Amino acid sequence: MRIMKIKYIGVLAGLLAFVACNEPEDVDLAEEVIVEEVPVAIAGSADFSNYVALGNSLTAGFTDGALFKASQELSMPSILASKFASVGGGGFTQPLTSDNFGGLAAGGARIAGPRLVFGGAGPVPIESLIGPITVSTDIVLNNPAGPFNNMGVPGAKSFHLLAPGYGNLGNVALGLANPYFVRMTGSTPDASVLELALGQAPTFFSLWIGNNDVLGYATTGGDGTNTLTPVTGAPGVGFDGSYGALIASLTASGAKGVVANIPNVTSIPHFTTVPHNPVPLDAATAGAVNGAYAPYNGGIQAALGALAGTGLFTQEEADSRMISFEAGANNAVVIEDESLTDLGAINPAFAALPKIRQATAADLIVLPAASFIGTLAVEGNPLTVNGVAIPLADKWVLLPSEQEEIATATAAYNAIISAAASQAGLALVDANSLLDQLANGGITSGQFTLTSNLVTGSAFSLDGVHPTARGYALLANEFMKAIDATYGSNFEASGNFVNVGDYPTNFSPTLQ
């Protein structure tokens, strides 16, 4: 059976009159009729009757800094499930939140804030526009009943999917459990994400995990509070062991699936929106700040002179550590940089010289710094401006050395993902290349071009990390494309790709 799709519609009118015509101007030209045949959707060698999605916030449908009903209903796995239904796919249950405000509570106490909205110039908390709200999704009072086809857990790293007790309410206060997963474990609080997924005997799965294994380190500026997952190690410890265990378990009963690799997180708007030089100063203020830094600059020059010829402190580093402001709108912020030479360790006479410098274009300032730079460390004291008189702490900046650590880890993780997918015969989505395209010119889908620009690019939501609903739609098409290529399904050829323009790029503050 084949469905006929009319691509161009025309009417072959006046045929008899045309035959009888003697003059060219009497001709009634007809439009050409072109009929394009579109095949019925087929599953190929895949069985979509019981689809289970595993992953983190990107699987859950997190957007605008929160998880809420509308975002979950437009999550990438939910979109996929709606298309799988055309080839025998079954129902798709999600652990829906209680409202469209977002956020989480525990026994009435807020533990995660509501979503962001567009405030006219950029992202703002929803409460700044509509006033105080009550977060009604409560992990103590109103968890939904499973099982759930969408096992995406915001914040989860690769090894977390194997961890028993990761959804136990009693472990939340100890920092050993994830409140989003608490909502999903029900009467089996110590069951792991993997166990709950396998308990549903999936015939097809998607697995997109590993982003948080690098993202946690990146969003904290590499300050050491959220470390990179070791590349090697046993299941539950290292990325290779954990990922290998996940794939082996999910495919043990013959289930097929699709996996995705990890994007270069330093290309997302969270790291590319705030410039390194956002500080406006008038001449008087610039002069005052320069005067305050004069003793520090003098100390750097004294250290260079004292250590000349030792090779321990170079002219290049000394120049990079000199701090200078001028009248204008584009002064670079002052940052801490632990990679700089510890001059006090070389010579105690220079122990008072901190490891600071002004940022360059090679440094990445995290998005939350936009609301911190320019504030006062001491209220009422104009000489304590953060980012000017007070250097930005490590958590606000990704240094080039830290970016290199992230790139190295990402490449190693992706090699493991690619090898595992190849060995198991799974479809693989190259999310890394997809993000590169978004960051370098954008991706055109239908009548829309999506880029990685915050707010205007349509692909990324207001938190600068997670996709918009339109971004998730774009991802769903990429997942279906990979599934078609691996399993012989025909979602693209049968016209089952979604129109990304049908999906919103933001949600109204009035959506409740």
Task: For the chain, list residues with pLDDT below 70.
Answer: 1-36
Q: What is the pTM of this model?
A: 0.91
Q: Where in the chain is the domain with CATH 3.40.50.1110?
A: 51-94+145-272+401-502
pLDDT, tens digit, 9 for 90 and up, residues 260-302: 999 999 999 999 999 999 999 999 999 999 999 999 999 999 9
- At residue 292, φ and ψ (nearest 5 deg) are -70, -30
Residue 279 has a CB neighbour count (10 Å cut-off) of: 24
From residue 83, give the alpha-carbon distance in Å to each of 262, 470, 492: 24, 16, 11
3-state secondary structure of 19: helix
| CA pair distance 230, 224, nearest whole angstrom | 14
pLDDT of 33 reads 58
pLDDT of 34 reads 61
E strand intervals along 411-495: 427-429, 443-445, 448-450
pLDDT of 37 reads 81
| Structure token pair of residue 152 | 């995406």
pLDDT of 32 reads 61
Report the share of the chain in percent with pLDDT over 70. 93
CATH class of 51-94+145-272+401-502: alpha beta
pLDDT of 16 reads 29
pLDDT of 382 reads 83
pLDDT, tens digit, 9 for 90 and up, residues 44-87: 999 999 999 999 999 999 999 999 999 999 999 999 999 999 99
pLDDT of 31 reads 56
CB 471 within 8 A of CB 79: no
Three-state secondary structure readout of 52-95? EEEECHHHHCCECCECCHHHHHCCHHHHHHHHHHHHCCCCCCCC
